[in-house]
């Protein structure tokens, strides 16, 4: 078999080029949105973000239909949490989307939380990507039986699923296993990190370069095939 070292070397150089390009395209986390509930009474039906993400839009935070409002100065609070297991109706939720022509990658969600003496004892975060089916990492989190504020509770997103997002994604922070239905749970300083970047230019450029490389490789292979055929006249 004839091996063209020039051809192999050329392909290897392009493999290295695309590998470096892939690294260069890695997600650079920025704060996309913050809900600090500045000035809130805590019992509003919904409350907006402190600022909107660049090249995107984030909704107000609101409560699931299973919950009632509860007061909490400069935070957002609810009562009537499930006293048993996970309940699809008991959550704080908001959505975020990139503008047309942009894509979004989500990396981490952080928030502060505090329960009352008879509030929730577990929480988890799910997303609309799978219809709120699976708890995002680290899964169901147990909170200690006290009324302290726990800051920067962190959720991480699987970049395989949460990059290249073109449409709206809703995130829900569920609480459950409350000691009593009058028990409350509040959240504060909800921060979402990730990036929103333009879609078309780079992807169009990459696919253009890829097609160019493909054409060059095919042309080289065809040339080699013709050369070999020329040494093998038809029977």
**Which residue of the chain is nearest Ca ion when measured via CB?**
74
Q: Does 113 bind Ca ion (CB under 5 A)?
A: no
Q: Does 44 bind Ca ion (CB under 5 A)?
A: no
What does the block give as tokens for 3?
């091996």
CB 159 within 8 A of CB 27: yes
Q: Does 74 bind Ca ion (CB under 5 A)?
A: yes
Q: Does 188 bind Ca ion (CB under 5 A)?
A: yes
User: Does the N-terminal peptide bond of residue 56 adopt cis geometry, omega within 30 degrees of 0?
Assistant: no
Comparing CB distances to Ca ion, the nearer of 97 and 186 is 186
Q: Does 35 bind Ca ion (CB under 5 A)?
A: no
CB 125 → Ca ion: shortest distance, Å? Answer: 19
Q: Does 36 bind Ca ion (CB under 5 A)?
A: yes
Residues 6+ apart with CB under 8 A from 40: 47, 72, 73, 74, 75, 76
For Ca ion, the binding residue among 37, 76, 132, 162 (CB under 5 A) is 37
Q: Does 47 bind Ca ion (CB under 5 A)?
A: no
Q: Does 92 bind Ca ion (CB under 5 A)?
A: no
CB 125 within 8 A of CB 92: no
**What is the Cα–Cα distance from 119 to 184, expressed in whole angstroms?**
5
**What is the Cα–Cα distance from 74 to 233, expressed in whole angstroms?**
85
Contact residues: Ca ion, CB under 5 A: 36-37, 74, 188
């Amino acid at each position: 078999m004839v091996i063209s070292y020039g051809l192999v070397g050329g392909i290897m150089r392009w493999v290295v080029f695309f590998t470096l390009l892939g690294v260069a395209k890695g997600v650079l986390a920025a704060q996309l949105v913050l809900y600090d509930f500045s000035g809130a009474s805590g019992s509003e039906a919904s409350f907006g973000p402190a600022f909107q993400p660049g090249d995107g839009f984030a909704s107000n935070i609101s409560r699931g239909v299973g919950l009632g409002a509860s007061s909490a100065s400069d935070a957002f609070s609810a009562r009537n949490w499930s006293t048993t297991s996970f309940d699809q109706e008991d959550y704080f939720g908001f959505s975020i989307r990139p503008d047309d022509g942009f894509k979004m990658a989500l990396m981490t969600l952080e928030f502060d939380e505090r329960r009352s003496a008879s509030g929730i004892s577990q929480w988890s975060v799910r997303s609309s990507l799978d219809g709120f089916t699976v708890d995002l990492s680290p899964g169901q989190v147990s909170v200690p039986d006290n009324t302290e504020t726990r800051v920067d509770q962190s959720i991480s997103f699987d970049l395989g699923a949460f990059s290249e997002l073109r449409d709206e994604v809703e995130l829900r922070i569920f609480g459950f296993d409350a000691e009593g239905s009058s028990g409350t749970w509040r959240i504060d300083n909800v921060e979402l990190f990730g990036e929103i970047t333009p879609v078309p230019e780079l992807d169009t450029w990459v696919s253009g370069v890829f097609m160019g490389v493909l054409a060059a490789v095919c042309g080289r292979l065809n040339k080699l095939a013709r050369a070999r055929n020329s040494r093998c006249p038809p029977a």
